[in-house]
């Protein structure tokens, strides 16, 4: 952990020249006091680093010093595919590894190549979240990704759209897909078909010690394309005719369903001789009392 941070600090100074302790602390995600200790450790290891005080002060490397110490760690190699998609790296908990990887890749470039890479960063931005949506909270994503990487079965509690809403499943995770800011898991139950599971709907879960063999012929990108095609074919399709008029109308909308008619009044006897006198039990025509 600390060794990687020391390398990152050295590469930052190599690229940017002078940096203050506050700036280094912000880049490395540590305290200023930790930066002081790391600078002392680099100097003790023979790295020509020195500090300058004052308004224009900070840490520097001796002019002309270059290092080729740009080895990539295993976790940084895993983050390589996420270069340019920082939100995905953050969701997977690989933001630190991705930042270190980008720093090492940049250090391996010539000054001209580094300038072009920085210009491309300023010109292009990828936003994976669809319009009118927010990024989902996916607390189980790192666990799922780890199980998929180690090819271990997952025991999860999943919320689905039909009854019963909450079910327990033992899944074999084969891969993850980021679609419109939403994460989906490609997984099977035993030797069953590979189905999509929305990661945000995983309520709880843990990686088991049970290993599984990933099918050699499983292609995640091809499976996802087939899944989208099948989903589109299952959607309800119909036709409707909508008519618009430039004139406002206060009439209620018409529907294709017939409106039920009110019940017909019961026939009553017709009095041809005049009004009937009040009944003795109903003085002045009032309704009968109830008890």
User: Given a cut of 90, is residue 199 above it in pLDDT?
Assistant: yes
Q: What is the DSSP string of 147-216?
A: HHHHTEEEEEEEE-SSSSSEEEEEEEEEEEEEETTEEEEEEESTTS--EEEEGGGEEEEEEEEEE-PPPT
User: What percent of the chain lies above the pLDDT cut of 70?
Assistant: 70
Report the C-alpha gap between 121 and 81 in whole angstroms: 16
Summarize pLDDT for 94-136 with one digit per residue, the tens.
667 667 666 766 666 667 777 777 777 677 777 777 777 777 8
> pLDDT at residue 89 above 80?
no
First to last CA, the chain: 88
SS3 189: coil
Q: Give dist(CA 198, CA 175) in Å, integer.
A: 12
| Triad 61, 66, 68: Cα angle to 5° | 130
With tokens 């309520």, the residue in question is: 203
Kindly calculate the radius of gyration of the chain based on its CA atoms and give it in whole angstroms: 35
Would you say residue 274 has pLDDT above 70?
A: no
Instruction: Quote the pTM value.
Output: 0.53
**pLDDT > 90: what percent of the chain?**
24
Strand partners, 204: 157
Measured distance CA(50)–CA(18) in Å, rounded: 10
């Amino acid at each position: 952990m600390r060794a990687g941070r020391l390398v990152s600090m050295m590469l930052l100074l190599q690229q940017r020249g002078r940096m203050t302790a506050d700036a280094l602390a912000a880049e490395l995600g540590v305290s200023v006091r930790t930066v002081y200790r790391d600078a002392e450790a680099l100097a003790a290891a023979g790295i020509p680093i020195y500090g300058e005080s004052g308004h224009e002060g900070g840490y520097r490397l001796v002019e002309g010093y270059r290092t080729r110490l740009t080895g990539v760690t295993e976790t940084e190699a895993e983050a390589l595919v996420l270069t340019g998609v920082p939100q995905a790296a953050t969701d997977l908990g690989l933001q630190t590894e991705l930042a270190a990887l980008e720093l090492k890749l940049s250090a391996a470039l010539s000054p001209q190549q580094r300038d072009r890479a920085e210009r491309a960063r300023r010109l292009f931005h990828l936003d994976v979240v669809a319009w009118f949506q927010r990024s989902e909270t996916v607390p189980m994503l790192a666990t799922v990704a780890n199980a998929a990487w180690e090819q271990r079965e997952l025991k999860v509690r999943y919320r689905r759209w039909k009854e019963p809403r909450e079910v327990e499943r033992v899944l074999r995770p084969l891969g993850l897909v980021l679609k419109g800011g939403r994460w989906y898991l490609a997984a099977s139950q035993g030797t069953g078909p590979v189905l999509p599971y929305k990661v945000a709907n995983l309520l709880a879960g843990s990686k088991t010690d049970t290993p599984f063999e990933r099918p050699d012929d499983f292609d995640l990108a091809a499976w996802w394309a087939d899944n989208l095609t099948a989903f589109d074919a299952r959607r309800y399709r119909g036709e409707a005719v909508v008519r618009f008029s430039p004139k406002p109308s206060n009439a209620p909308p018409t529907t294709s369903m017939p409106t039920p008619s009110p019940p017909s009044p019961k026939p009553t006897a017709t009095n041809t001789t005049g009004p009937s006198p009040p009944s003795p039990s109903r003085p002045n025509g009032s309704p009968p009392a109830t008890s």
